[in-house]
Structure 1
Amino acid sequence: MAPIIRPRRLRSTPAMRRLVSEVRLDPADLILPMFVKETLSQPAPLSGLPGVVQHTLDSLLTAAREAVAAGVGGLMLFGIPEIRDESGSQADDPDGILNRALRLLRDELGDETVIMADLCLDEFTSHGHCGVLDETGAVDNDATLERYASMAIAQARAGAHVLGLSGMMDGQVGVCREALDDHGFTDVVILGYTAKYASAFYGPFREAVDSELVGDRKTYQQDPANGREAMHELDLDLAEGADIVMVKPGLPYLDVLAEVATASPVPVWTYQVSGEYAMIEFAAAAGAIDRERAIEESLIAFKRAGADAILTYWATEVATALNGGVR
């Protein structure tokens, strides 16, 4: 007998598929990570991230304007200073490269977009870790929190709308929220990196920030084997006042993203990290996959899993395409 129920009816034409699509991408869902390096006189391409550069302040502003014109929802800034030391002193220096970049974008773009700052010490320390080291060489959680509080105030003063707490220190959300509120920055948003895993997929990012890291970050970033632990971290971040929460990386942790999205009363974002980006770019360059389709499919996967917004290095390109432009 011929089947009565035919799901293929809803796949018959592009118009029909579009009409019944369960999730959609929108330019406002996309956030562009950007790197600004203090010592550059011109943008520097990154071999591990084709199409991505370390910016000068001038090229950063140009690229930011392009992203805003394409409808990208926000910009996440990472700073690479000329001088690094044990405590990452440039991180909260008002004249440090990241804070100068934040001021520049806020002065030029105002509230036209959402300007975000990575709040972590790894780009600023001579040892490359996300915190202050104790006498044994281990990351001192509570001493690091003091540095994070100072960074939060500096980044808020520089004009950041959102602070991305990516260091995975216990108590980081609560300490930064208290510091911000005590200094009158009650409207500055805290993005808690709730589930940030100790992942191999960060590899190309190390080049992007000229990482000085020796060793690994397994004592503070989450173990890839653990999913339930992410829900414990979610409860803690919410209790400490996180306004938005994050799962990072993206594709290897879609199960965690889906569970966090189901449980979270606040927006949930994910970060399509450097290794995810590089895999698609290099596979496409080798002719192994269709680049545009793979990019779109990967982003749709995040939306299907429950992400409200996605940090991706393709943000401007995809936003332009969604608005009817050509990739």
Structure 2
Amino acid sequence: VKNAPADKIGTLALAIDKSAPDKNVIANMMLNAGMERKYETLGALLDLQSAGGTRGHGAIIMMRVMNDREEIFDGKKQEYMSLMTRLIDVCAECEPKSLSMTMLLAVYKLPEGKEYPELVEKFAAAGADPFLFKEEAKRFLTNKYIEQDDTASADKWRARIDDWQTAYTAKHRHTFDTLFGDNFRLQDLLQPATEQGETGLQLAARARRLPEVMRALERGGSLALDDVFNEPQGGESAIHLAIDRGDAAHLLAPEYWARKEVDIVSALETRLSDDRKKWIDMDTVSAQADLHRLQKITDDFGAQYQLRPRFG
């Protein structure tokens, strides 16, 4: 298999995959082809309709191809862009997180002229999340171009990413509204709702509909920590998505978690990734949680003994 010619690899891959359908044969062969820089073979494997995606290898393969842009693909822009576009399309279907993280790598190469702007555009058009890591792409490009005294490029990319963010939110809001409407129940949001396996809650975070989600709690239902912190395979948790958009306060509502007697501060400290934790003001969240916990104790004590205010 390792030394099979590119024009024969497809037939061979299908035969092996048929004999061992549970081994992710084609995806693993794509990974090997990428690591060995056999890009003609990789292209042939991408042609297979039964490939079923890269099974989590998409980011690694794309990174390998991108690293070879100035060597193997020197003077071959069309060939490079064609292969990357096909990989982007595969990841868009089943690896949204890989797609978004790899777009960031392309962004990091832009100011030095080591990546094509058109490639970043393709990532965005395919659905890469322009909010990833608290708007890292916008922040990086703005700061880097300003360091280079190129304010025109800083302004251009900031405006371009603003457009992507607006379109991204509108797209997911349309999907959310189509699936759930306005009078949804919270429990309806806790089941897988998208082809990528994201729940309605995660979709609500992408659509920036979390205020409505928290209001839905008043109509019934309950959120658990797992609903907020769990990640679908290849995707992001609701809390990560909320932090990236500056919307975390809605999900962290200390009064809600205090009523449930859940230590939201401990959950943040133990379950939140370091790259998102730095964007949370833990001292403020902790102070608010303590205040509402004390208020709950006071309310429970008053209810137990039926205390009433005395006047006069």
TM-score of the two chains, using structure 1 as the length reference: 0.26
Select the structure of larger CA radius of gyration: 2
Which structure's residues are more often strand, by fraction? Answer: 1
- Name the TM-score, length of structure 2 as normaliser: 0.26
| More RCO (CA 8 Å, sep 6+) | 1
